[in-house]
Amino acid sequence: MDGDLAMKTLKLQIVIVFALALTVIARADDGAPLSEQFNIKLPRGIPSDLWEYFVPKDNPLTASKVELGRRLFFDKRLSVDGTISCATCHDPRFAFADNKKVAEGVGGRRGARNSPTVLNAMFGSSQFWDGRAESLEAQAKLPLISPDEMGNESHEQVVARLQKIDEYRQLFKEVFGGPVTIDGVARAIAAYERTLVSGNSPFDRYIAGDSDALSESAQRGFGLFRGKARCNVCHTFNQAFPLLTDYMYRNTGVAANNTTFEALARQAAQAARNNLPMNKLDEFARSEGGQSLGRFLITGNSLDIGSFKTPSLRDVELTAPYFHDGSAATLETVIRFYIKGGNHNQNRDWQLEPINLTEGEQRDLIEFLKSLTGDDTRRMVESGTSDLQRPAFDVGQLNIRDTRR
């Protein structure tokens, strides 16, 4: 893991140098039509080199691609019966989550997991609670054909439906120079998601030097977060990677809420010892309560049994309920979970131990978590709009251009 991190840092440094070089090139060349330029104003606290690092070179942002992605994201016609869009479960009014314990898709069918916010999802090294999708592009194709989500039989079915709609035929031609394809759908949606960046929270202003931005209670909470409560062991913070997570997979014992977990975990460990074939993982995934095995379903590594991705804590105040199974209704419940050291089980992370927090300290910790809410996100949720409006004083304006066309 240390090696990985060092590698990432090195890569980041290389990227910074390249990014600086590219900025110069982009400024020198002014010829492209306006529709090919995309300006993003990044919120305070999110470094522009980090953002650029997570925009893949083979799917650069353009204004028209982002607009196409936005329309697709909010369009219920992407589902088999016209009732569900991505935004049904990733709703701007709920900070791009859905306020439900577990997701509800076509025909009211329920999945096994809580819908995470897609705000800042671009910074994840992989997508989903168990990391089974490597990129936003790969992720976007899956809900379309999930029977519990958008319910289509195949990607061809989605493509054929969109191809009949004039607006999409035209936009795909404009953006990708051809007919509707599933890759195009995924690339456009992913491009739009890379504009859903949230920062500029009181905490970001505090880190930037405004010591009045946090209440005294929140400041004490920050101290506990890094101190006695040891939250930052997993929800790491530093200015180069300010997401309040390292996106690693850990077993905190939430999985043990599922009554079948213990028996399944034993079978899974047994199977892993016997060099299990990959199709055995699918069998586990489909079994009753099998989703509680988490990251194990992807790696087959017994150390990953019951492990889930450590989520970002940005905007966490607005994305209840919490945990991969939606089992914690409030932040108070989350804190109580950590006070007892998570749920005991064989694979529980060794870093978790019971912690001793007075009621006042619990309130301070929650005040701190609430200071991670971005102003733009709060405004969006409170006004019920779907746009993250960036205030004029924000820095980090970029000018990214699709250089392939």
Is residue 86 a contact point for ligand HEC (CB under 6 A)? Answer: yes
Set 52, 104, 137, 149: catalytic member: 149
Q: Specify the 3-state DSSP secondary structure of 104.
A: strand
* Closest listed residue to residue 84, CA positions, set 171, 146, 128, 167: 146
Among 45, 116, 202, 374, binds ligand HEC (CB under 6 A): 116
Angle (deg, nearest 10), helices 278-286 and 261-273: 170
Least spacing, CB of residue 131 vs ligand HEC, in Å = 8
Question: Which positions from 237 through 276 interact with ligand HEC, judged by CB under 6 A?
Answer: 250, 252, 254
User: What DSSP string runs through 142-164?
Assistant: TGGG-TTTT--S-HHHHHHHHHT
Is residue 121 a contact point for ligand HEC (CB under 6 A)? Answer: yes
Among 118, 171, 272, 318, binds ligand HEC (CB under 6 A): 118
CB distance 102 to 111 below 8 Å: yes
- Binding segment for ligand HEC among 29-37, 43-51, 128-136, 159-167 (CB under 6 A)? 128-136
Look up residue 369 and give its two tokens. Answer: 């978590």
Q: Is 111 exposed, middle or buried (0-12, 13-18, 19+ CB in 10 A)?
A: middle
How many residues are given for the chain? Answer: 405
Among 38, 203, 296, 338, binds ligand HEC (CB under 6 A): 338
CA torsion, ordered 385, 310, 102, 282, to nearest 10 deg: 130
Among 242, 311, 374, 396, binds ligand HEC (CB under 6 A): 311
CA distance linking residue 96 with residue 79, whole number of Å: 18
The structure tokens 């004029």 sit at: 392
Question: Which positions from 191 through 230 interact with ligand HEC, judged by CB under 6 A?
Answer: 229-230
- Binding segment for ligand HEC among 35-43, 142-150, 163-171, 382-390 (CB under 6 A)? 142-150
* Catalytic-residue membership of 149: yes
Q: Which is nearer to ligand HEC, 221 or 401 (by Cβ)?
A: 221
CA distance linking residue 199 with residue 44, whole number of Å: 6
Q: Which is nearer to ligand HEC, 37 or 146 (by Cβ)?
A: 146
Is residue 128 a contact point for ligand HEC (CB under 6 A)? Answer: yes
User: What DSSP string runs through 288-353?
Assistant: TTGGGGBTHHHH--GGGTTBEE----TTGGGS-SBSTT--B-SHHHHHHHHHTTS---TT--TT--
Binding footprint of ligand HEC, residue count (CB under 6 A): 50
Q: Interface residues with ligand HEC (CB under 6 A)?
A: 84, 86, 88-90, 103-105, 111, 113, 115-116, 118, 121, 124, 127-129, 136, 139-140, 143-144, 149-150, 189, 229-231, 233-235, 250, 252, 254, 308, 310-311, 313, 316, 319, 322-324, 334, 338, 349, 351-352, 365
What residues are labeled active site?
149
